Amino acid sequence: MTAPERSLRADARRNREAVLDTAGELFAQRGDAVQMDEIAERAGLGVGTLYRHFADKQALLAAIIGRRFEAMTALARTADEAEDPWAAFETLLYGYLESAQADAAFRFALLGPEEPSWSDIAAEKTDFAAITERIVRRAVDAGRLRADFRADDFILITRGAMANMTGADGWRRHVTLVLDGIRGPGR
């Protein structure tokens, strides 16, 4: 739970969660065509209540991403505990993508036409990025990832895989091909 969510009254927190749940479902079904008033109506709230929590669609998308990043950060912490650097990297990569596969709204928020408001979720993004950087550095230092691989490349791989989450398991083939190209000499 983010700091702004902790400071909310119980009813306001329930309203915020209802908006996020509803928005997640609608964005997953229809993408950017979803309107804020439709989200409020479907959540059983007034549009003013929605706008008290989220100034605009970008802020709402950022909250959806932030919610998922909290779960991703927990996953990254678990992956970071793996002794083998390659196992840590693969655990993070596959765990991240499997979680994204089950969350179409998260994928839409990251890959959609509207840029999310990253400042709204800076803490969640920073925590995840720090752990990802550590995992990548360990794998590079151990020779398990190619020497020029950076934590930013993790984002390139995940976005490419998410773009291939259109049907069966095409994203898994995508990742297999990419992993073959980024493994270091210490395979």
Domains in the chain: boundaries: 1-54, 68-187
Distance set, CA 2 to CA 66, 124, 141, 154 (Å): 8, 8, 33, 24
pLDDT surpassing 70 at residue 187: no
CATH superfamily, domain 1-54, is Homeodomain-like (1.10.10.60)
Judged by average pLDDT, the poorest of 23-27, 71-75, 89-93, 142-146 is: 23-27
pLDDT surpassing 90 at residue 65: no
67 vs 158, residue with greater confidence: 158
Q: What burial class does residue 166 get, using C-beta atoms within 10 Å of its C-beta: 0-12 exposed, 13-18 middle, 19+ buried?
A: exposed
DSSP reduced 3-state for 145: strand
CA 16 – CA 20 distance, rounded (Å):
6
CA 16 – CA 150 distance, rounded (Å):
36
A 10 A CB-CB count for 128 gives 23
Domain 68-187 in CATH 3.40.50.1360: no
CA 80 – CA 88 distance, rounded (Å):
6
Tell me what the mean pLDDT of segment 29-45 comes to. 89
pLDDT surpassing 90 at residue 170: no
Name the pTM for this structure: 0.79
pLDDT surpassing 70 at residue 148: yes
Per-residue pLDDT band for 90 (boundaries 50, 70, 90) equals very high
Return the closest-CA partner of residue 155 out of 184, 178, 121: 178
